[in-house]
Structure 1
Amino acid sequence: MEKMAGKGLGGEVIGFFLAVAFCIICPEYVSSAQRELGKGSPANTSATASPSGSVDNAIRTGAAVADTPRPTPRTGPYFDLVASKNVTALLGKTAYLNCRVKNLGNKTLNMQVSWVRHRDIHLLTVGRYTYTSDQRFRAIHLPHSEDWTLQIKFPQHRDSGIYECQISTTPHMSHYIHLNVVEPTTEIIGGPELYIDRGSTINLTCVVLYSPEPPAYIFWNHNDAIISYDSPRGGVSVVTEKGETTTSFLLIQQARPADSGTYQCNPSNAQSKSIVVHVLNEANSIFPLSGEYPAAMQRGGQAFAPTSATHCLVLAACLFLSLS
């Protein structure tokens, strides 16, 4: 028995030294075995998921970039919408409708740019030629230019509407431009009559509306005579603010009866407008200083009459007798 125990103890010692020697001699085999054992560990799984996930995201990002459509150059003609806009024209002033066609190149021999009026489906121009008996219309195109312009002289309200710029492709290409012919209007605030107290400041405001461009000038008249801002009278000035809505202010300080009359605002691109100004003296005021008042006046929706001094004395006497 002691021999067997000795042999067992000796065998364990020999096995221990053999295992140590094996680990020293073959470390790569141990490392690979540890990796195989770690595959079933949840912690290792989460640790390895991050790098693989980042690779997958990189692949997907690259795929998304590859799928992004890239702009391709156009090969056929097309309209430049920025240079082919709707037009607002002043009544009686020449209007220009522009149509810019890109990539037409030398195809003008086979393709033509035309203008058609939609109101009556009337062909107005083809290329540089005009196909209408109305001499107000004309085609304008410069060599090597991309602009095809329709000129309309003396436009009227009936000329408002849609005009089609057409390219003779198969099928044809169209771009629509709307023409709006407007007539500016003039208004004087506070008209048609204005009452001013003597000694105050006359402030007349003239507004020009619906004008595609500001008027070049605005004249003021008083009783059909142009107002002179350097006259000996003095105290007369004009301030004009131009923009989409143009406003002109006429200021006359220390108003006097001679300033009464008809004032007229005359813009360069719109009809004139008039207002009648009355400068009131003290004798023309609603409540004169003589102390006389109307027999009845409206106050708060109820009429009342002034009480005479005699009535007041009678009421006072009655009150005194009743108290005594």
Structure 2
Amino acid sequence: MMYAPNPEMSVDFVRNGRITNNTLIIKRVKPSHSGTYECQISSANIYTYHVNLEVLNTRRYIEPSITLDGTLYPSPNQKLNLTCNSTGHDRSPDKIDWFHNGNLITENKPQWRNRAVIVNYVPEVPGVSLISQLTIDKVRTSDAGIYICRSMTPSEGITVKTTSVIVNVLNAEKDIKKREDGHTQDTSHKLSRQDTNKTVRLSSCFYLTLLGLLFQIVK
């Protein structure tokens, strides 16, 4: 909580298990907001942390960028999650489109109906990014391929940025067969070594017997 209410400021509170995140949000920040801010936690002891904030008179340049990550090796019937984060120069992009092997992904297409969900949102901080999450339920082998995230940002014209990832749907049956084949090969190898050792022992016995007979003849 804040010591005194301020219409320009608010605290965003998020609990994740035993971890809590408290974010101080300052709307329409200006140079007069510069200064030292104190975060204080009251428990058996009092812990404090100070942050020095300097608000520039001119807007800092932000290089537009786009990133894409998520589940790259799902198994059949699992859930596929991909997250695209696109940052604009002075504002968030207008839209983000998803493509699979060059085809636009829409939730109402037969291939994706009742399986694909696209959620877009703009984080309040820093406010120049657009995040899009693609979720595909009950993954099929046909869902493997190249996934492209494309963002469009208005500026003097239209700025388009794209990035892509390759998703491989694992085949559990093939993986099991490979492991079984590998186990069979290892066993055969062990048997081959055992046969070799047995042959060496028989050969040694034969030569010892021959030497004994020669020794009897000479004697």
- Name the TM-score, length of structure 2 as normaliser: 0.48
Determine which structure has the larger strand proportion and give its number.
2
TM-score by length of 1: 0.34
The structure with the larger Rg is 1
Larger helix proportion, structure 1 or 2? 1
Highest relative contact order (Cα 8 Å, sep 6+), 1 or 2? 2
